[in-house]
Amino acid sequence: RAEAIIFDVDGTLAETEEIHRLAFNETFTHFGLDWYWNRPLYRQLLDITGGKERIRAFVANHRAPDGPRALEQVAEMHAAKTEIYTQLVAEGAARLRPGVLRLITEAKDKGVRLAIATTTSLPNVEALLQAAFGMPSSSIFEVIGAGDIVAAKKPAPDIYRHVLDELRMPTFACIAIEDSRNGLDSARAAGLPTLVTPSIYTSHQSFPGALAVVPDLDTPPVSLDTIAKWRAA
């Protein structure tokens, strides 16, 4: 049986990417940039994790108008984007995906430790968990690894390694839950068995090496026993 579950956030706990996309687009307008990230474009841009990294990659690869000026303001733009995103989430824009609360409740009841490994900025995680659970993130998740705490974001294994270090747990006692290929590759490179619940922006991806791939944590209902069976198979 797993002794700790490490959750990704965006796409895994909640379908947040449309809120991120909206926040990016509002930010671009605010900064006087004639940019608009529509859904097909955003799907491509998600290959690069991290908001600042995504803006830089967009300028580098898409001949963005005003690119050089924007590059000088990436930090300010990203701070503004975080403000907009956290506000939307505080207003209730995101809901937990099916089965997430049930599995977290079961884990808590049975003394399974909970942690987070995400590329998203910490304020975004805190806003989501506060809105979804009505309590501070630290009362649910023992360790939260987020954003720039590591130099190399997913698919690099750094964030999972960081969380494993903080938990002081060996990989074989833990599992990761992810929604994306970048997340899967990151967790696997850190040595973690990884369950994948694809999200709206990652449903077209393939997930080689996943412990299992299910539409969501309620289809079928995923419990600690289900996970133990997959691991024993």
Kindly list the catalytic residues: 8, 10
Question: Segment near Mg ion (CB under 5 A), from 3-11, 35-43, 74-82, 204-212?
Answer: 3-11
Strands 4-7 vs 113-117: parallel, antiparallel or unpaired: parallel
- Give the phi and the psi of residue 99 in degrees, each rounded to 5: 85, -15
Q: Omega of the bond prior to 220 within 30 degrees of 0, cis?
A: yes
193 binds, among Mg ion, ligand XBP, none (CB under 5 to 8 A by kind): none
- DSSP, collapsed to helix, strand or coil, labels residue 213 as strand
Closer CB to ligand XBP, 82 or 194, in the complex: 82
Taking the complex as a whole, the smallest distance from the CB of residue 109 to ligand XBP amounts, in Å, to 26
List the single partner that 205 binds among Mg ion, ligand XBP, none, CB under 5 to 8 Å by kind: none
Helix (H) or strand (E) holding 171: none
Binding ligand XBP by CB under 6 A: which of 157, 183, 193, 198?
183
* Interface pick for ligand XBP out of 50, 99, 157, 198 (rule CB under 6 A): 50
- Could you give the string, one character per residue 171-200, with x where binding to Mg ion holds by CB under 5 A and - elsewhere? --------xx--x-----------------
Cα gap 5→65, rounded to integer Å: 43
194 interacts with, out of ligand XBP, Mg ion, none, CB within 5 to 8 A per kind: none
Q: Which of residues 45-104 bind Mg ion (CB under 5 A)?
A: none
State how far the Cα of 128 lies from the Cα of 150, in Å rounded to an integer. 21
∠ at Cα 155 (196, 44), nearest 5°?
Answer: 85
